[in-house]
Amino acid sequence: MTGIELSDAFVLFGASGDLAAKKIFSALARLESSESLPPKLIGIAKSGWSQDQFRQRIQESLKASSPGTGSPAAESLCRRFDYIDGDYRDAETFHALADHLQNVRAPLFYLAIPPSLFGTVADALHQHKLTRRARLIVEKPFGHDLQSAIALNRLLHSVVPEERLFRIDHYLGKDPVLNLIYFRFANSFLEPIWNNHYVESIQVTMSENFGVTDRGAFYDEVGTIRDVVQNHLLHTLSILTMDPPINASAESNRDEKTKILKAILPISPTSLIRGQYAGYLKEPGVHPHSSTETYAALRTTIETWRWSGVPILIRAGKNLRVSATEILVRFKHPPVSITSEPFPPGSNYLRFRLGPDRVEIGLGARAKRPGPAMVGQPLELLVMRNQRNEEDPYELLLGDAIRGDQGLFTSQEAVEAAWQIVDPILNQTTPVYEYPVGSMGPHEADSLADLPGGWHDPCGKENGGPGPKGFS
């Protein structure tokens, strides 16, 4: 981090929005308690609020979203936060901002606003000469498809260069995901077997036991593939399968993840199963004849020397049986059994549970049952198990952005590579199969998992071990 300039102002566009109230203010309060915030803090929104009303909003947000936030930090944050009430399309708003930033060298602008306003705000900042040394944070989604992602990147790069652009995806700052990175490269015993000679298949599942709730109108425009597959799950897969970075720099880390994303074959319609939970069409805000998927299962491969030929299965859905994000890496079984008992498929695996109820790393093995007969039994050795008690990742990510560390932020190349993978299936009129609420998706998805052991069941047993194969 030597030689990287700290941001000396934090400017929050969208200061009256839900994201600010639910996530950003509590993260800023924790950063304030550790004296990690810049000296100048400014919120901007068109709400008709006064300075006092804005500070009252911060206090109310902190009480609701982070009851444990220390009062001294909360009071300090409220006291230091200035407020500009104005329209993002009004030049006077940016004149006022320029007055606030007269003695600031390197501001950090956070666009916690709808993507449709990114261009408006970014262009106004540039026109008012506020971006010369500035950093810019933008929230996902980073485009709606490959073409829009390329256009968005071109627009943002006309204002700030890539090294000062921070695409924030809170999922990449979650502690279980960071633990996946650490476990992957802190244990030398993995490297000899982490390849297509020993790995039989990889599965990534994000299952949610709730529906679209009050986000029907938004979700109906997005769907599961755009909402979580293109970003969260593909980037998690890249962490799991990337080669070791050449050093600890953010650039090396991001380069290796991008190489994997570029090596994942684009999804074909024949390798995709889409589903929709029963009752989705009656959700508020959902079009009565919508074909938007609430479930997606897909199969692909990573065409590198390390992974070529290993089936990759990715699945995500709403209103399923359980809320769990889990990765299963199945190893090939021994070629010859040493007893008359054949070794069952799927006995050896690594299982990563990334939440939301607990964080686990489990190693699947077999051992002999007690007694004279050479008969085995499955075991899972828990490497770690933690009940979830995780701080919101925004504190980590905002602190990194203030320091100029891009390691946990998504690069332009990675964004476009991920869209390249799913772009062929975004506008395809593939069937959408209805599935019961509380199931694990449509049974048609079983056709993608014609592998030893079939789909892994993240519902698991009470001790956290893997459950029976397949879904109903």
Q: What is the mean pLDDT of residues 109-128?
A: 93
Asked whether the beta carbons of 332 and 199 are under 8 A apart, the reply is yes
Measure the CA–CA gap between 309 and 88, rounded to whole angstroms: 51
Read off the pLDDT of residues 50-60 as tens digits, 9 standing for 90 and up.
999 999 999 99
pLDDT tens digit sequence for 247-304: 888 888 899 999 999 999 999 999 999 999 999 999 999 999 999 999 999 999 999 9
pLDDT at 390 > cutoff 70: no
The answer to whether the CB of 259 falls within 8 A of the CB of 243 is: yes
Name 360's bridge partners. Answer: 353, 385
Q: Is the pLDDT higher at 384 or at 171? A: 171
* CATH 3.30.360.10 intervals, the chain: 172-392+428-448
CATH class of this structure's domain 172-392+428-448: alpha beta
Burial class (CB in 10 A: 0-12, 13-18, 19+), 218: exposed
Q: How confident is the model at residue 155 (pLDDT cuts 50, 70, 90)?
A: very high
Across 262-348, the runs of DSSP E, i.e. the strands, are 272-277, 295-300, 312-317, 324-331
Tell me what the mean pLDDT of segment 393-408 comes to. Answer: 93
Query: Which string of DSSP letters, residue by residue, matches 191-219?
Result: GGGSSTTTEEEEEEEEE-SS--TT-HHHH
**Average pLDDT value for residue range 121-135:** 95
Assign 470 a pLDDT band (cuts: 50, 70, 90).
very low
Where does the chain hold its CATH 3.40.50.720 domain(s)?
A: 9-139
Catalytic residue among 157, 170, 197, 232: 232
pLDDT at 2: 44
H/E stretch holding 75: helix 71-80
Q: How far apart are CA 167 and CA 28, in angstroms?
A: 18
Element of type H or E holding 183: helix 175-186
- 287 among known catalytic residues: no
Decide which of 424 and 342 is more confident: 424
Whether the per-residue pLDDT at 337 is higher than 80: the answer is: no
- Domain 9-139 classified CATH 3.40.30.10? no
